[in-house]
Every structure is written in structure tokens, then in C-alpha cells.
């Protein structure tokens, strides 16, 4: 049903002294109690609600939050807001779940991410998730490995195994890292249910609420969320041409941060590569302060020109660098297999924590990965994906320069998954996204990556998920969006990037 | 090297007023600093250290803990205590990891569990882990499913998927539960990286430090650990013939516990089945108090006679029962695939938490399980394992009655994995274990399952992991151990179950 007719801004009393969000919440609560909006009804997205009542998006969000607290509506991630089950006399005995939950940090990211992952219109090209192209997943190789080895693997390998991981895989990972100049043996490795789990475990083992963590100003969303939900305070290093070691040292002296989180190679989202000399200077400084560095390295195998410099972990002379790797970006995310390399005393403590969470990671994926590495299948696969992704990067860069040069600036990344673009005109990338989805193209607005709130005129495009034809189409849709926005901005004189108060 | 000669009780000054554990720690520290015990040396197990210095095990544990705090030794789970790297001038810059770690609840369980999982002598028969027999894992069926379906599955199924799980599997689980009288649809299901993860997520979402949780007096170790590490206080329901609803109601009124955790069917470790009328009465009481019940149900498909009563979740008329299931016990643990059934508002909140931990569970295992269920493979497999495990249970029961009737009493379980045995004579099951491992047989002492410390004269034997011949051999070794202990106890008059003070 079209429910917008039940949500009419004329019903709001403009002379009422109650905050607008409360008035809206009361109005919706009334319709729910009268069953004009029956249980199960999907309510308008926050943005639409804001439009309907001509209020800010924050007011709309707060109205829904109020209704959620009263148990009248509930929000399903990736889907929207729904009217909850009516609570009649019988239902007095029902468990009031939302009232039982522990506090959940309501950061603005959550709602941005919900927008990103929510079901897009059919035919939408999403350049949002950082995902390898499914057409390149080496499923045939995995099938061969499965069939060739299932008969000769003792079934007990599929029983309970050590928390630290399937030993053949731990050994294979240690060997792989050693080839990259990272000295590691089995006892230095713990396998993880995706490298995200490494971040979570580190936060449990190292962080108390109020501790400081240093991060690049724009960085991986999952890391920001984990550290914030551990109650950490974030110290932000600007993303610029050069890493400011002076500022970092200042942080180290003033705040004694528990760790520095970095993606030194093909950074997410900026694509930056930290040069070799900068890596050496960083290690020197870190050693002096005995600073723990968490080096997240999902992309370094995906270079499209020269190989990048060695990992920070390869330079680690003080045992303070913790290295996180994953097979999600170079093979496929569904493996959910990542790993962490560090000193045995840390591996051991992480294992105690991991035991509570999942006992150990999935054996089938670990078994397959061990064979994939041991039978030398990785090098060939990397050659294939590097060749293909390089072509896509070049095609996309050319198209962006041809069609969007007036609207954005960007650097061509030397590796990894992303173009990091900056708007040349006024306006925010959130506004751009709102227009872009109408043209069935989506991406991640820069705000999602921010460790500190700043003006948001950047956004991230992933160029690896789709083939060149689709990428070209996506740039055309983006160009169309820019053309529409320019027209609109000319017609509409309001400054587009005002910050609205939360009322 | 034989290091016991360096650890000599004669070097202890009996007139010294320092606590014994400190004296021992100082003595060992001295040998480490003089490099008599070089870095990497494996130190004796706590039990042996206690014997060497003729002190209690607790004193030995405290000595090691002191050395660990000083960074002189470190403990590797499942392996032992080692001398740490020497810290010379250069190593002043090394990161002092143990000093950086957040507090870890040092409960006595940890050390018991370490004993259980630590590498046993070659040829030891372990009846300790609750593990299905690897010889019965249906790897051939999984291989067929893999080959038959890999070509027709879109590769994107192996990319990122919703946090709540692989939808075909969620649907298949909902259908399976519906057949068991549990009304569920896809939105009621979240798939988990093992059901252990369900316990962890529930603790994150429902428990604040100091909250109360009701548990059976002896119950699943993993649940105790998760709730304790969330800072919960445990209220204990005695494991007896009949569940005391009076005591539970008293708890509900006095302490308003956040949840009740139960394994109603083939309880771990006791094997008890809650009768149907008791389930109804429990639900009635829980509904009245709007009590959240977490029903853990890993074993109910493994019945060896009549089918057990319906799950509590099937009786849930107030939306308060959360159901946890797993494929680890009926198929194989390495799938690391469990699931939770509950109201959508709970599923949604759990998903937000799970996102931080591992984004989503492993696709390969979820894909295989979805096909296994959809192609109707489960029923046949269950028939096979039920038939086999029933034979093992009967063989084991007969052997225990024949060879150990004077030493233990036990009930024959109607399903599940375990015999729960009680010593008839004085002595603790820890002491029994210490003797038993010398005869190369191991099991879990009852203490590991206790939610409250009590006298420990019970222990758990898992009868599903090994075939009948091995089970018979294991009972013979157990009988031999009893014979030796009886002899020893006659020779030695000291009361064997004294509680030693921690000094």
C-alpha cells in the first residue's frame, strides 16, 4: 500500500513546542495503535520520511529511534523499518526483546552502511563493495583439489582441530610469508575466520575502553567499527602525500596509544602505497616507542605495475608488527579464511579469545587453502587476476578522464581495488550518491571511511567486481548524474553542504 | 635435558617467611637469569613442579603465574610452560606483549582444560572430547554433492553474502525445524560459525557484567566460559531426577536473571532428558516471568530408543525461547556450522554483532549443508550413526557394569554422547585422571562442568568417538586404574580429597 498518504506533514502542529522528531513519532504511533499502519507494514526509508515531513534526515532518524524504543517499530539491517507486532493483552507476556539488549553504539556509519547494502533497484551497478569478480573465482581448481585429495585426507582432519588453525595451512602460510621476507614459522600464525576476525580479536586482547588507537584519517570501515565498539578513542593521521611522522610522534608522546592500524600498500580507500624509506622511518620510530603496529595487507599481491615495497612486518626488528592477511580479495570472500602473523605469546592469547567465539575456523576452507598453496596454484591465479584487473583499471581511468574530468579528480592506483575520487564542485558525495542511485549506479561515500567527521567530498569506486563493458556503462551513468546535478545546482541556490542541527 | 635436577626443593629456605610460591618463583628466575635454564626450555607441568617441591598444585600454578607476570616464562595452551626469550640491552626495545594484554579471567577451568587437550602419551585412548567418530563422517556424500552442484552454482554464491547466512541454508534449516514442530521461517534463522558462536553473540547482546544467568549445576564448558567471561554471575540449578521449578522461581523473583541456559535433551554431561510435562511447566513459569530461555540442542537427533519429547522451542508461546542447533555432533565438527532460531528482532541485533566478528560464516560449508539438507541426505545418515552409536553405548555399558561396578555408578543414557559416572569410593575424579593417563586412558573430570565449585567425584566418558573394540580396551584400562588406586589407598591413609589452602 502507499503509506505516504498516512504520513502527512499537515497533521503536525507547527505551534507545538515538542521537538519535531517527537511530533512525528507520536503521529506515527497513533496510526500504528489505530492499526491504520498494521504490523508488518514497511515504513518509508529515513530519507523519504524526511522529505514527506520536510525535515532533516536526522529528525527522521530520531523519530524512528523513538518508535523503536517504544517497541512500535523495528529496523532490519539492509531492508528498512517495519511496524512491529501489536501488543494486546495476551502479548503482555511476550519477551520485550529490544528492552533486553545491551547498548549498541549508534554511529552514523551504521545508517550509511545500511543504505549501501540495502537492496538496490534492479539493474543497479554497484561499485560499492570491495569484491573480486566472481567470474574469476578459481572454482575449477578448487574442485580438482577437492577430488584429488579427499580420499587421501584422514577424516579426523574434519574433526576438532587446534584453535590456532589447521596445521598444514599454518605451515603453508608461514612458508608463503617467508618468501616475502617475513620470517615466520607455524607458531607465529593463527588462521582466522576472515581477517576481520583478527581485528576483533586484537581489540579484545589489547583495548580497554578509553584507550587510544592511531589510524589513517580515511581507512577500512570494519577496523573503525571494531575499535570504536571496543570503546577506543581514535587519533587520526591525515591521508596526504607523505605520512607525518612528526604528528605520529606527538601522538605517541602525548597519548601513548595502544596501537597504530595501517594499510601500507594500496590503502583502502585511497590506494596510496607507502614508499620504502617511509616504512623504514616508521619502523625506527615505532621501535623507539615500542609501538604496536597492526599492518593490514589484503591487497599487496594485486599490483598492476611494479611490485610494492616489502611489508612493514618484513622490517620488524622489535617484534611489534602484527601482520594481517586474507584470501578474500585475491581468491574469494566466501573462503572466510584470513590469518595473523605475530609473536607466539600473542598468538596464544588470541587463541584463548578465539576459543570463546568459534572454537576454531572452518576446516574445509582451511584444508582447500592448504592444498591450493602447497600445490603452487597461487602464482598462476595471481597472474590471471592481475592482468585482468589492470585492464579494468586502465579502462575505468580512461573513461573517468573522458567523461568526468570536470567533476572529479583522482589518482590512478598502482594496485588494489579502488579509485578514490574527489568532487571538484561544491556538494557532498552523499548527495551525489542519492542522485546516482536514481541512475542505477552506486558507490561508497567517503564519509563511511572517516575516522573523524569532516566535510565529505570524496567517494570510492571499486573497479574489480565488474568487466570492462559494465565499468564503461557505470562511468556513463556517473557522468549523467553529474550533468543532472550541475543543472539542479544552478536552479537551486541553497548551499548544499550545510550541517543541520540534531533536534 | 632433564631439568628436574635444576629444580631442587633443598634449595628452598624453609625458614624464609616469603610464601612458598614466591620462593619457588625466585629460584626459577635465578636459574633463568644465569641461563642455566636457557630461553625456549620447556618447564615441568604444574603437577610435576608440585611434586618436585612437595607443594600443592596451586602453589606450583602461582609460582608459574608470578614468573609469567615478570615476562620470564610463558604458557602455551595445550603444550606447557616455556622459558621466555632473554631480554638483553638490545631487547629493551622489544614490545613487552604480556604487559599489554587485557585481563584474562584465570579460572581453574583453564588449567583443567589445558590438561585435557595437552598432547597425551602415544597410544592413549581419549574419551574426553565430545566428538563423533571420524570413520562415520559422510565425506563421500559431501564429495558427490560438491561435484554435482559446483557447476550449477553461481560463483557469486562464494562472494560476500548477508551476515545472517546463506539464504538457501537458512531456508533449509527453517524447513527442518518446522518438521520438528518449531515454527520458523528464514527470517528467524541466523547461521553461525558453530553453535559456540551463538552463545558468544547472545552474551554480547544480552549480558552486562554483574547480570545473572541460570544454568544447570553441571553443564557445557563452553557456555560456562562465555557467560563468565561476559562477567555474568551464575545461579545454579541442581542436576537431579527432577528440575526444581520452585528454586528457579525463587531465582527469578530474587535475582531477575537475564537468561536460563539449558540442554533439555541428552544433557551434557549428565545425559538427562527433561520429560514432556516438565517442559510444559517450565515454559508456563518462563512465560509468566518473561524469562529468556537459551535452549542448546546438539544431541536430540541422536536417540537410541524412543524419540525424545519436542524441543522447548516448539512449546514457546511467548517468543522467549532461543534455540541453538549445530551440525558438529551429527555430521562433523569441521563444518563449523551451527544456527540460532529466534524472533527477527533478535536475529537482526545478533547480526550487527556478528558483523564485527567475522562478517558472515563460511560459504563453502553453508553451501554444502544446504544441499545435504535439501537433497534429503540427513535422515539416512542419522539412521546409520544412531544404529552404530547405540551398539557402542550398549557395549560400553555392559563392560562398565562387568569391570567397574564396584567403583562407579552410572545411568545408561537414552541418547547423545556421554556416560556420566560417579565414584563409589572416596577420592576425586581429578586423582582418578592422574592415574588413568598413566594407563593411557583419559576423560573429563566432572569439575570442568561445574558452575559452582563442589566436591568432584564425577566424570564424563564419551562413547561415540571410538569403535567397540577400542571402547572395550578403554574400560579395561579404567578397571586397571581402579585396581591400582584401591591398592594405593589402602597403603596410604591420607584423606585423598582435602582442599589445600592457596598460599
Q: Between B78, B134, B194, which is nearest A156 by CB?
A: B134
Q: Between B134, B155, B319, which is nearest A159 by CB?
A: B134
Percent of the residues in chain A that have a pLDDT greater than 90, as a whole number: 67
pLDDT at residue B497 is higher than 70? no
Distance CA B456, CA B140 (A): 43
Give the dihedral sign, CA A283/A285/A288/A293. Answer: negative
pLDDT tens per residue across span B136-174: 999 999 999 999 999 999 999 999 999 999 999 999 999
- Chain A residue whose CA is closest to B350: A101
pLDDT at residue A501 is higher than 90? no
Q: 10 Å Cβ neighbour count for A111?
A: 15
B89 band by pLDDT with thresholds 50, 70 and 90: very low
What rounded mean pLDDT belongs to chain B?
Answer: 90
**In A419-460, which ranges are continuous DSSP H helix?**
429-438
**pLDDT of the residue at A89:** 47
pLDDT at residue A58 is higher than 90? no
Distance CA A143, CA A150 (A): 10
Q: What is the dihedral of CA A466, A470, A474, A479, to 10 degrees?
A: 140
**pLDDT of the residue at B41:** 86
SS3 for A299-357, per residue?
CCCCECCCCCCCCHHHHCCCCCEEEEEECCCCCCHHHCCEEEECCHHHHHHHHHHHHHH
C-beta separation of B370 from B168 below 8 A: yes
Q: Residue range A112-128: average pLDDT?
A: 73
In this chain, the answer to whether the domains covering A3-101 and A139-376 adopt an identical fold is no
pLDDT at residue B106 is higher than 90? no
Rg (Cα) of chain B, in Å, rounded? Answer: 25
Percent of the residues in chain B that have a pLDDT greater than 70, as a whole number: 92
**Best mean pLDDT range from A256-265, A442-451, B444-453:** A256-265
B430 band by pLDDT with thresholds 50, 70 and 90: confident
Which of B99 and A3 is assigned the larger pLDDT? B99
pLDDT at residue A34 is higher than 50? yes
pLDDT at residue A327 is higher than 60? yes
Which contiguous run of DSSP H or E holds residue A212?
Answer: strand A212-216
Distance CA B395, CA B304 (A): 13
Range from A375-384, B8-17, B401-410 carrying the lowest mean pLDDT: B8-17
Q: Between B155, B160, B335, which is nearest A137 by CB?
A: B155
Inter-chain CB proximity B336 and A258 less than 8 Å = no
Measure B475 CA to nearest chain A CA, in Å. Answer: 23
pLDDT at residue A10 is higher than 80? no
Q: Between A134, A157, A358, which is nearest B156 by CB?
A: A134
**pLDDT of the residue at B8:** 73
CATH class of A125-131+380-491: alpha beta
Measure B142 CA to nearest chain A CA, in Å. Answer: 10
Q: Residue range B400-427: average pLDDT?
A: 95
What topology does CATH give the domain A3-101?
Answer: Arc Repressor Mutant, subunit A (1.10.10)
Q: Which residues pair with A356 in a beta bridge?
A: none
End-to-end CA distance of chain B: 30
Kindly provide the residue ranges of all beta strands, DSSP E only, lying in B433-483, ordered along the sequence. 441-442, 444-445, 458-462
Distance CA A238, CA A215 (A): 9
pLDDT at residue A430 is higher than 60? yes
Inter-chain CB proximity B102 and A205 less than 8 Å = yes
Which contiguous run of DSSP H or E holds residue A410?
Answer: strand A408-410
Q: Residue range B68-91: average pLDDT?
A: 74
- Candidates A443, A418, A431; CA nearest to A482 is A431
**pLDDT of the residue at A456:** 86
ipTM given for this complex: 0.83
B53 band by pLDDT with thresholds 50, 70 and 90: confident
Residues of A in contact with B198 (CB under 8 A): none
* Residue B83 CA neighbour count, 13 Å, CB half: 21
Residue with cell 543543472: A487
**pLDDT of the residue at A2:** 67
Inter-chain CB proximity B364 and A362 less than 8 Å = yes
- Candidates B385, B438, B442, B447; CA nearest to B416 is B385
What topology does CATH give the domain B139-376?
Answer: 3.40.640
Give the dihedral sign, CA B419/B425/B429/B435. Answer: negative
Q: What is the dihedral of CA A446, A452, A455, A459, to 10 degrees?
A: -10
pLDDT at residue B466 is higher than 70? yes
Which contiguous run of DSSP H or E holds residue B249?
Answer: helix B245-255
pLDDT tens per residue across span A370-416: 999 999 999 999 999 999 999 999 999 999 999 999 999 999 999 99
Inter-chain CB proximity B158 and A359 less than 8 Å = no
What rounded mean pLDDT belongs to chain A?
Answer: 90
Rg (Cα) of chain A, in Å, rounded? Answer: 25
**pLDDT of the residue at B72:** 84
**pLDDT of the residue at B502:** 63
Q: Residue range B273-299: average pLDDT?
A: 96
Inter-chain CB proximity A158 and B137 less than 8 Å = yes
* Residue A290 CA neighbour count, 13 Å, CB half: 10
**pLDDT of the residue at A1:** 55
Distance CA A243, CA A284 (A): 14
Q: Residue range B476-487: average pLDDT?
A: 94
C-beta separation of A262 from A227 below 8 A: no
Grid coordinates standing for B420? 556420566
Q: 10 Å Cβ neighbour count for B101?
A: 16
C-beta separation of B356 from A225 below 8 A: yes
Inter-chain CB proximity B161 and A334 less than 8 Å = yes
A367 band by pLDDT with thresholds 50, 70 and 90: very high
Tell which CATH classification among 3.30.565.10, 3.40.190.10, 3.40.50.2020, 3.90.1150.10 matches the domain B125-135+380-491.
3.90.1150.10
Q: Residue range A96-114: average pLDDT?
A: 71
Inter-chain CB proximity A358 and B193 less than 8 Å = yes
Task: Among A95, A109, A142, A151, pick the best mutation site for testing chain B contact (most B Cβ within 10 A).
Answer: A95
Task: Among A195, A345, A360, pick the best mutation site for testing chain B contact (most B Cβ within 10 A).
Answer: A345
Inter-chain CB proximity B336 and A290 less than 8 Å = no
Per-domain residue ranges of chain A: 3-101, 125-131+380-491, 139-376
Which of A29 and A257 is assigned the larger pLDDT? A257
- Candidates A364, A328, A460; CA nearest to B359 is A328
- φ/ψ region of B256 (left if φ > 0, alpha if ψ in -120 to 50, else beta) reads left
Q: Residue A253 gets which letter from DSSP?
A: H
Which contiguous run of DSSP H or E holds residue B463?
Answer: none
**pLDDT of the residue at B208:** 95
* pTM score of the predicted model: 0.83
C-beta separation of B21 from B66 below 8 A: yes
Amino acid at each position: 500500500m502507499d503509506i505516504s498518504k498516512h504520513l502527512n506533514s499537515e497533521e503536525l502542529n507547527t505551534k507545538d513546542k515538542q521537538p519535531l522528531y517527537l511530533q512525528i513519532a507520536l503521529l506515527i504511533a497513533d496510526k500504528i495503535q489505530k492499526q491504520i499502519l498494521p504490523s508488518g507494514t514497511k515504513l518509508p526509508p529515513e530519507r523519504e520520511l524526511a522529505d514527506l515531513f520536510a525535515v532533516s534526515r536526522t529528525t527522521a532518524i530520531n523519530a524512528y529511534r523513538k518508535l523503536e524504543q517504544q517497541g512500535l517499530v523495528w529496523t532490519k539491517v539492509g531492508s528498512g523499518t517495519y511496524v512491529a507486532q501489536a501488543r494486546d493483552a495476551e502479548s503482555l507476556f511476550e519477551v520485550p526483546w529490544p528492552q533486553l539488549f545491551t547498548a549498541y553504539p549508534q554511529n552514523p556509519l551504521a545508517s550509511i552502511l545500511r543504505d549501501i547494502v540495502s537492496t538496490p533497484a534492479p539493474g543497479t551497478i554497484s561499485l560499492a563493495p570491495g569484491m573480486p569478480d566472481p567470474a574469476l573465482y578459481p572454482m575449477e581448481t578448487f574442485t580438482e583439489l577437492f577430488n584429488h585429495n579427499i580420499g587421501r585426507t584422514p577424516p579426523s582432519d574434519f574433526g576438532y582441530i587446534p584453535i590456532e588453525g589447521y596445521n598444514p595451512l599454518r605451515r603453508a602460510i608461514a612458508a608463503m610469508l617467508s618468501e616475502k621476507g617475513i620470517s615466520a614459522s607455524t607458531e607465529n600464525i593463527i588462521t582466522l575466520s576472515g581477517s576481520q576476525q583478527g581485528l576483533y580479536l586484537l581489540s579484545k586482547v589489547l583495548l580497554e575502553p578509553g584507550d587510544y588507537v592511531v589510524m589513517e584519517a580515511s581507512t577500512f570501515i570494519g577496523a573503525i567499527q571494531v575499535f570504536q565498539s571496543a570503546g577506543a578513542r581514535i587519533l587520526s593521521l591525515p591521508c596526504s602525500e607523505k605520512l607525518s611522522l612528526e604528528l605520529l610522534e606527538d601522538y605517541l608522546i602525548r597519548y601513548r596509544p595502544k596501537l597504530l592500524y595501517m594499510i601500507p600498500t594500496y590503502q583502502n580507500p585511497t590506494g596510496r602505497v607507502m614508499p620504502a624509506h617511509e616504512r623504514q622511518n616508521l619502523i625506527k620510530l615505532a621501535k623507539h616507542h615500542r609501538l604496536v603496529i597492526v599492518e593490514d595487507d589484503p591487497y599487496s599481491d594485486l599490483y598492476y605495475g611494479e611490485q610494492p615495497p616489502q611489508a612493514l612486518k618484513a622490517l620488524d626488528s622489535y617484534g611489534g608488527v602484527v601482520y594481517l592477511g586474507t584470501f578474500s580479495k585475491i581468491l574469494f570472500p566466501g573462503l572466510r579464511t584470513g590469518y595473523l602473523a605475530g609473536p607466539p605469546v600473542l598468538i596464544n592469547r588470541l587463541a584463548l579469545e578465539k576459543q570463546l567465539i568459534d572454537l576454531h575456523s572452518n576446516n574445509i576452507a582451511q584444508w582447500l587453502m592448504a592444498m591450493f598453496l602447497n600445490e603452487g596454484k597461487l602464482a598462476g591465479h595471481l597472474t590471471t587476476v592481475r592482468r585482468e584487473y589492470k585492464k579494468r583499471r586502465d579502462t575505468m581511468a580512461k573513461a573517468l578522464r573522458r567523461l568526468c574530468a570536470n567533476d572529479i579528480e583522482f589518482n590512478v592506483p598502482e594496485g588494489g581495488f579502488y579509485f578514490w575520487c574527489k568532487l571538484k564542485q561544491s556538494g557532498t558525495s552523499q548527495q551525489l550518491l542519492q542522485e546516482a542511485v536514481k541512475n542505477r549506479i552506486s558507490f561508497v561515500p567517503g564519509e563511511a571511511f572517516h575516522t573523524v567527521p569532516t566535510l565529505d567530498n570524496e567517494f570510492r569506486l571499486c573497479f574489480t567486481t565488474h568487466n570492462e563493458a559494465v565499468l564503461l556503462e557505470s562511468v556513463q551513468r556517473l557522468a549523467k548524474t553529474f550533468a543532472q546535478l550541475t543543472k539542479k545546482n544552478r536552479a537551486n541556490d541553497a548551499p548544499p553542504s550545510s550541517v543541520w542541527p540534531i533536534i
